[in-house]
Chain A
Amino acid sequence: SQTIHQWPATLVQPVGSPLSLECTVEGTSNPNLYWYRQAAGRGLQLLFYSVGIGQISSEVPQNLSASRPQDRQFILSSKKLLLSDSGFYLCAWSGPYGYTFGSGTRLTVV
């Protein structure tokens, strides 16, 4: 069966520090992968999606970047975090039954 792993679950980082969130998928090959951010009262905002290794599409210009170094690995990064980067980050992959989401990372920038 397909599973998706996302870590860490929570993270507190100072302003200006780097960020790396990792997401991996098991049990499927060549999945479409997505990073969403959820801020209070604003629903889910699509940040990046990828249809294959090295293929990244950015939906919203911002302080973040994404990479897909392997077929089932999707990484969200930042060189210098801003206070506005705080939020709940969700990784997802799309399959025949819709989207499957990871358990999320709660990022607090202080």
Chain B
Amino acid sequence: AQSVTQLGSHVSVSEGALVLLRCNYSSSVPPYLFWYVQYPNQGLQLLLKYTSAATLVKGINGFEAEFKKSETSFHLTKPSAHMSDAAEYFCAVSVSNRDDKIIFGKGTRLHILP
């Protein structure tokens, strides 16, 4: 069975500072990994996904994530936070990128301090 654990339900960073949102996964088979962003009262939007190609994945809005098999991690980073990055972020795992149910983490709310 697959699962993801997001460390920290709330993370606060100053505008312009590094954003680091942590995600660890558990999977019995090579996983597909995703990061989604949710703005208030909206659906989820795909930021990026890992599908066993390059281990460093670049997404939208300047975000990227690195797949580290040895650490079973898929942390999300952005070099410089912007006020518009304030949102909730979900890490997710699946055994395929289409047909299997995605399992989501509980989410991390990112707060940007002026």
Contacts and interface: CB of A to CB of B under 8 A. Distances in A.
B43 A103 contact: yes
Contacts of A46: 101, 103
Contact of B43 (A32, A90, A97, A98): A90
Interface string A81-92: 000000010101
User: Is chain A's binding surface mostly helix, strand, loop or mixed?
Assistant: strand
Given A41-B9, A103-B43, A104-B42, A94 B105 contact: no
A101 B44 contact: yes
Q: How large is the interface on B (under 10, 10 to 19, 20 to 34, 35 or more residues)?
A: 20 to 34
Contacts of A104: 41-43
Contacts, number: 60
A95 B43 contact: no
A106 B41 CA distance: 8
26 contacts: A6-B43, A9-B41, A32-B98, A34-B101, A41-B106, A42-B106, A43-B90, A44-B90, A46-B103, A59-B101, A88-B41, A90-B44, A92-B44, A94-B98, A96-B98, A98-B34, A98-B46, A98-B98, A98-B102, A99-B44, A99-B46, A99-B102, A100-B46, A102-B43, A104-B41, A106-B41
Interface of B: 9, 34, 36, 41-46, 49, 90, 97-99, 101-107
